[in-house]
Amino acid sequence: VIETGTYPTAAGLGEFGLIDAIIRRLGDAATAPAVLLGPGDDAAVIAPRGPVAVSIDQLVEGRHFRRDWSSAADVGVKAVGRSLADVVAMGCRPLAIVAGLALPADLPAAWVTEMAGGMADECRRAGAAVVGGDVTRAAVVALAVTALGDAGDTAPVTRGGARPGDRVVLVGRLGWAAAGWAALAAGAPTIDGALAPVVTAHRRPAVTYDAGPALARLGATAMVDVSDGLLADLGHVAEASGVAIDLQRAALPVAPEVAAAAAALDTDPLPWLLAGGDDHGLVATLPPDALAGVADLAGVVIGTVAAGAAVTVDGDRVPGPPGWRHF
């Protein structure tokens, strides 16, 4: 492909040119102490201290993001954040990612390198490295990010260990990204003032990477990140653990930014809190005697675990959509 314009496309750079440009843009984000071999060979090689958590997540244009709503760097941040949140929710430390990039031929090459820059920034923030990838052509941008986490000497925290008597603790944001999505979907003419913080949250989740391992050390019995919505994700915990979970409505944190967005959009923020994903806050269950350290993580107790099944709010089943479904 011969490129004559000022702004080369992905196809114009070609597979190897694009890969070179991406690796240059990653810079030191391709390295970390545990990385024995970074990008450029058949595979990368890493040396974890303990067992390895692994999870793959996809971000597809038009379904998980829009190029007119999010910058390329935003998309890179989000793709990495949502994948790393899954290994953090096991109590593991972020270690590395590899990314499969399916890209339209006419996508500006600069979009790709800026997206890679967002991936690099988020990996640095998490203490992880971008160690490999693959590029191929597709009709829309589709990113598949596999995250690896290091369990170290801490036993992984599954969804299945919650016990009656445990408390439910939330660390991180709740309802922010859903509020931001609502603002964008409503076509709010200007994104500023009351709406800017939540729209930014929709574009770039503020994943609390340190909190996962910290909750595991405190003795979390179960943990998930909120990706499908609080009710849906706690439903997974209740089912896997064979317990009932009751949330206290009054304990659910409504951040001033979320309240302001609800006022600006003249709506009730509760559905954002209960069914909004994409903030990737962590929800863990802990025995009451393990709660002392939760405040240091800016965690709040939002509910209790009891014998039984299902998730309730102030004792009642909540009707309506349980969260985002991908099909």
> Residues 88 to 107: which contact its own copies by CB under 8 A?
89-90, 92, 96, 98-100, 102-103, 105
**Closer residue to its own copies, CB minimum distance, 89 or 297:** 89
| Residue 13 within binding range of its own copies, rule CB under 8 A | yes
175 dihedral zone (left: phi>0; alpha: psi -120 to 50; beta): left
**Closer residue to its own copies, CB minimum distance, 45 or 186:** 45
| Residue 149 within binding range of its own copies, rule CB under 8 A | yes
Q: How many CB atoms lie within 10 A of CB 153?
A: 7
| Residue 284 within binding range of its own copies, rule CB under 8 A | no
Question: How far is Cα 123 from Cα 121, in angstroms, rounded to an integer?
Answer: 5
Give the nearest distance from C-beta 176 to its own copies in angstroms. Answer: 20
Encode 311-325: b = buried (16+ Cβ within 10 Å), e = exposed.
Answer: bbbeeeebeeebbbe
Instruction: Please state the φ and ψ torsions of residue 148, each to the nearest 5 degrees.
Output: -115, 135
Instruction: Kindly identify the residues of this chain, within the stretch 229-268, that bind its own copies according to CB under 8 A.
Output: 240
Stretch that binds its own copies, among 71-79, 86-94, 245-253, 300-308 (CB under 8 A): 86-94
Instruction: Kindly identify the residues of this chain, within the stretch 106-145, that bind its own copies according to CB under 8 A.
Output: 131-140, 142, 144
The DSSP annotation for 270-300 comes to HHHHHH--SS--EEEEE-GGGGGGGGGGT-E
**Closer residue to its own copies, CB minimum distance, 15 or 314:** 15
Instruction: Kindly identify the residues of this chain, within the stretch 196-235, that bind its own copies according to CB under 8 A.
Output: 223-225
Three-state secondary structure call for residue 159: coil
**Closer residue to its own copies, CB minimum distance, 142 or 177:** 142
Instruction: Kindly identify the residues of this chain, within the stretch 28-57, that bind its own copies according to CB under 8 A.
Output: 36-37, 40-48, 51-57
| Residue 25 within binding range of its own copies, rule CB under 8 A | no
Stretch that binds its own copies, among 65-73, 79-87, 174-182, 201-209 (CB under 8 A): 79-87
Question: How far is Cα 257 from Cα 252, in angstroms, rounded to an integer?
Answer: 14
**Closer residue to its own copies, CB minimum distance, 60 or 191:** 60
**Closer residue to its own copies, CB minimum distance, 98 or 255:** 98
Three-state secondary structure call for residue 225: strand
The DSSP annotation for 106-126 comes to TSBHHHHHHHHHHHHHHHHHH
